[in-house]
Structure 1
């Protein structure tokens, strides 16, 4: 992978050719983004409930099943048959959104609840990838 060392700021009006200087790194995006390949899956975020932590509708989320969930982690869980992406409040047994328009959800003893994994990364695609189109 080639990394071009250009600090770009919003409102940038121009810069020298990116081909002028670059350095070669001996790594792939897989190595950079996925720590436990055999226990990692990708998901597509839906809705606006996690936008204040930077996860927007249509973003790709990288979910690691190997990681032990901790209080305050963003997780993917199966909650009563529905996959949800929420912040885990272990102290109060709550699933929290990061958008104030959504109320906390209490995890009751009678709920069917299982944590599927910890969200370790999110990726925003500015152009839709043909690989992500659901047919």
Structure 2
């Protein structure tokens, strides 16, 4: 799996309508046209530029976490990565998106797909955490 860094997120986005009723995935509700307020995606995703950036995921190793190839992830580089966080990192200069596992002094990068083995960070490896993934965004019109 590789990661393409797209750059920082600019603050001050456009406010979009937020509706008070929950949207059914089955039959539409007659009450679904009640707008509650306007909300910005900056506010919704708690974007605090310049600490936030976007990256595009390439590969299927994080599918179990709901992150698919082609998805955008919103990454917070101001958070300290903790055990269990999904991180964007460079392992020996290769960019990766993995779940961070810490067992004592041992650091392991875990895929969320059983086809990929855990990657133990060994002495001599260089691991640089570029940030913690807060959200993923999927383009449902994408066909590939």
Q: Name the TM-score, length of structure 1 as normaliser.
A: 0.83
Higher helix share: 1
Note the alpha carbon deviations across 1:10-32, whole angstroms, 9 max, x for none: 3x23333744x21223x310122
Runs of 4+ in 1 over 6 A off after TM superposition: none
Higher strand share: 2
RMSD: 1.7
Residue aligning to 1:3? 18
Pick the aligned partner of 2:78 from 62, 66, 77: 66
Pick the aligned partner of 1:120 from 122, 128, 134: 134
Name the count of aligned residue pairs: 125
Three-state SS of the structure 2 residue aligned to 1:31 is helix
Q: Is the 8 A contact 1:74 1:88 kept in 2?
A: yes
Residue aligning to 2:3? none
Note the alpha carbon deviations across 1:63-90, whole angstroms, 9 max, x for none: 1110011011000000111110000112
Rounded Cα–Cα distance in structure 1 between residues aligned with 2:89 and 2:29: 44
Rounded Cα–Cα distance in structure 2 between residues aligned with 1:23 and 1:88: 38
Rounded Cα–Cα distance in structure 2 between residues aligned with 1:24 and 1:9: 19
Gaps of 5+ in 1: 129-135
